[in-house]
Structure 1
Amino acid sequence: MRVLVLGGTGEARRLAAALAGRPELRVVSSLAGRVADPRLPEGEVRIGGFGGPEGLAAWLREERVAAVVDATHPFAHRMTDSAVRATGEVGLPLLVLRRPGWQPEPGDDWRWAETISDAAGLLPGLGERVFLSTGRQDLAAFADLREQWFLARCVDPPEPPLPPRLEVVLDRGPFAVDGELALLRRHRIDVMVTKDSGGEMTAAKLVAARELGLPVVVVRRPPLPDGPHVESVGTVEGAVAWLDALAAAHAG
C-alpha cells in the first residue's frame, strides 16, 4: 500500500521512521522545499510543490497512492486545503496529524490573535522591543510598524518587506529555557509574538516569557479541515494505528 506523508515536521519524520522497513507499506515523504537545508526523514523523499490541488490529485493517481497523511505544520493551511481537495477528488482517505496546541499556565500573560495581522495590530501599547517567533514568511505583517524594534528568529534569512528596525537571528530548535532567558534579557525584549504551533521544540520561549513576566501575543491556529474522507489524530502513534487498520483492510 503506497502512502504519501506530507510535511517536514518532527511528527512527519517520526512517522516515517516508525513506518520504515514495513513490507506492507511503501511510504514517500514530501517536503515543500522552503528550507534551504531541511532535516530529511527516513525512506523515500520528494522535495518540491505539486502545483496546487489539481497537480497533487494527478500525482496521487499516477503514483497509485492509497492514503495520504498530512503531517504539515499546523499553520500550513494552503497545503492542507490542497490535500483535502485532492484526496476528495481522487477518492482517497486523508489523515491530518496535528500535535496539540499550547495551553496557558498560571503566570502566563497571553493575548490571543486570530491572524498574524491582528497580532501586529495588538503590539502598540504592549511593548517597544518585540521578539518575533512566527517564521520568516510572516514578517511582512509587521513592516509598517516603525515605533517598535524587532528581533526575529528564523531558520533561513527573510525577504522584504521587513520592519525597518529589525535584527535577525538564524537558528533552529530545539531551544532550552536558559538560552531563551538569555536571549530575551540580552535584547531587552518586553513583548513576544508567536503562533500556537504546539510541541516541545520551541515551547521554552513561553516558559522564559512567563518567568520574565512578558506579555505574549499568540496567533490561533487554523481549524482542522472537515470532510467525509478526512480524519485527524494528535500523535504519531495514532497515525500508525490508522495506517495499520488501512493496511489490514487493503490486504484483506
Structure 2
Amino acid sequence: MHVLILGGTTEGRRLAETLDADGVRVTSSLAGRVAAPRLPPGEVRVGGFGGAEGLARWVREHQVDAVIDATHPFAGTISFHAARAAATSHVPLLALRRPGWTPVEGDDWHPVDSLEAAAGAVPELGRRVFLTTGRMGLAAFAEVADAWFLVRSVDPPEPPLPPRAEVLLDRGPFTLEGEREVLRAYAIDVLVTKDSGGAATAPKLTAAREAGIPVVIVRRPPVPDGVPVAATVEEAAAWAHRPGR
C-alpha cells in the first residue's frame, strides 16, 4: 500500500511515523513554505503539484492507494485540489483535522470569517496587537495604521506588513508562562489568531483570558463536501489500513 500524506502539520508528521512503523509505504508532501521543516519518516516531496490536475496525475503515476489531507486547517486551496484529484483518480481521501478551539468562561472572543475582517476589528479593540496568524496573509493588516503589531512567525515574513510592527521569530509549542511574559513585556491589549486548534499554540488563549485581553479569532474554512474527517492520528491510521471502508 502507498499512502500520500499532504502534510506540514504535527499531525501529518505523527501519522507518517505511525504508518511507517506499521510497514506502510508513505510519501509526505510539504508545501515548502517553511525554510527548515521537521521532516517525517518515509519519502518526502516538497512543493506544489500544479493544481488538482497535477495532483491527480502524480497520484496515478506513483500508484497511490489512499490520500490523507493532513494540511493546516487554513490551507484551504490544497484541500479542494485534493478532493477533486481524489475524485478523478478514484482514490479514497480522508481529511485529518485537529478539533478547533472552543471558548470557556472568561474568554472575550470576537469571531470573524477572514483576515481582512480581523484587521477591521482591531481598531475597536486595542492598540497593541499580538498577531499570531503566521507570515502568510499579513497584507490584510498593512493598512491598519493606528495600532502597533507584534508579528510572530516561524520564518521572517515578507512585506507588506503593518506600518508599525515588530517581528518575533519563534516556533511552537509554546508554554503558558512564556505567553504570559509576551503579553506583559509588550503590553499587548488584543490578540489576533486563527482557529488552528491543538495544544501547541493554545496557551496564548489562556494567557489572554487571564489578562482580560480580547481575542479576534478567524474561523477555519470548511472541509470540502463529502470528504470524511478524522480528528486524531489514531483514527487516520486506522482508516489508512482500510481506506474508504
Normalising by structure 2, we get a TM-score of 0.98
- Could you tell me which amino acid in structure 2 is paired with residue 51 of structure 1? G
Q: How many Å separate the matches in 1 of 2:112 and 2:125?
A: 14
1:4 aligned partner: 4
Mapping for residues 76-91 of structure 1, pairs under 5 Å? 76-91=75-90
Alpha-carbon shift at residue 9 of structure 1 (Å): 0.4
- Residue in structure 1 matching 2:230, options 217, 233, 236: 233
Contact preservation (8 Å) 2:195, 2:220: yes
2:239 is the alignment partner of 1:242: yes
| Alignment coverage as a number of residue pairs | 245
1:20 aligned partner: 20
Contact preservation (8 Å) 2:25, 2:42: no
- Could you tell me which amino acid in structure 1 is paired with residue 230 of structure 2? V
Mapping for residues 42-191 of structure 1, pairs under 5 Å? 42-191=41-190
Alpha-carbon shift at residue 167 of structure 1 (Å): 0.2
Which ranges of structure 1 fall in alignment gaps of 5 or more residues? none
Alpha-carbon shift at residue 138 of structure 1 (Å): 1.8
Q: CA RMSD in A?
A: 1.1
2:194 is the alignment partner of 1:195: yes
Where 2:197 maps in the other structure, the secondary structure is coil
Q: How many Å separate the matches in 2 of 1:21 and 1:131?
A: 40
Alpha-carbon shift at residue 159 of structure 1 (Å): 0.8
Q: How many Å separate the matches in 1 of 2:21 and 2:101?
A: 33
Contact preservation (8 Å) 2:150, 2:165: yes
Deviations along 1:160-187, one digit per CA (max 9) or x if unpaired, are 1111100000000000011101111111
Where 1:123 maps in the other structure, the secondary structure is helix
Deviations along 1:183-232, one digit per CA (max 9) or x if unpaired, are 111110000000000000000100100110000000000011113xx211
Contact preservation (8 Å) 2:12, 2:70: yes
Deviations along 1:73-100, one digit per CA (max 9) or x if unpaired, are 0000011011011111111110000000
Deviations along 1:29-65, one digit per CA (max 9) or x if unpaired, are 1101110000111111111111111111110110011
Contact preservation (8 Å) 2:132, 2:152: yes
Q: How many Å separate the matches in 1 of 2:136 and 2:2?
A: 32
Which ranges of structure 2 fall in alignment gaps of 5 or more residues? none
Q: How many Å separate the matches in 1 of 2:22 and 2:156?
A: 38
Q: What is the percent sequence identity of the aligned residues? A: 62
Where 1:111 maps in the other structure, the secondary structure is strand
Q: How many Å separate the matches in 1 of 2:86 and 2:12?
A: 19
Where 2:109 maps in the other structure, the secondary structure is strand
Where 2:183 maps in the other structure, the secondary structure is helix
Deviations along 1:93-116, one digit per CA (max 9) or x if unpaired, are 100000000010111000000111
Where 1:157 maps in the other structure, the secondary structure is coil
Alpha-carbon shift at residue 246 of structure 1 (Å): 3.2
Normalising by structure 1, we get a TM-score of 0.95
- Could you tell me which amino acid in structure 1 is paired with residue 26 of structure 2? V
Contact preservation (8 Å) 2:92, 2:243: no
